[in-house]
Amino acid sequence: MKKDTHPKYETTTIRCACGATVDAGSTSDDLSVEICSQCHPFFTGKQKLVDTAGRIERFRRKYEKFTAQTQAKEQ
């Protein structure tokens, strides 16, 4: 077999946005995630609001022309 074909596997620290840290094995150095098992609503049973303002704004901009045309036809 060829030498040095596989990446180095080592212990990595995974950090969540809530502040939780988990040590795991990975080929990446340090990882950061937005939601982990300690703050995910499925595991905690608590409702958590996720920032979706960007998605809503994109939807409004996309259909702004459509609503303007509809209002113009009604007048």
* Residue 49 pLDDT grade (very low, low, confident, very high; cuts 50, 70, 90): low
Hey, where are the domains in the chain? 10-74
Q: Which of 32-36, 38-42, 66-70 has the highest mean pLDDT?
A: 32-36
pTM over 0.85: no
* Residue 5 pLDDT grade (very low, low, confident, very high; cuts 50, 70, 90): confident
Strand pairing report for 21-26 and 30-33: unpaired
CATH number, domain 10-74: 4.10.80.400
The average pLDDT across 9-24 equals 90
pLDDT score recorded for residue 52 = 60
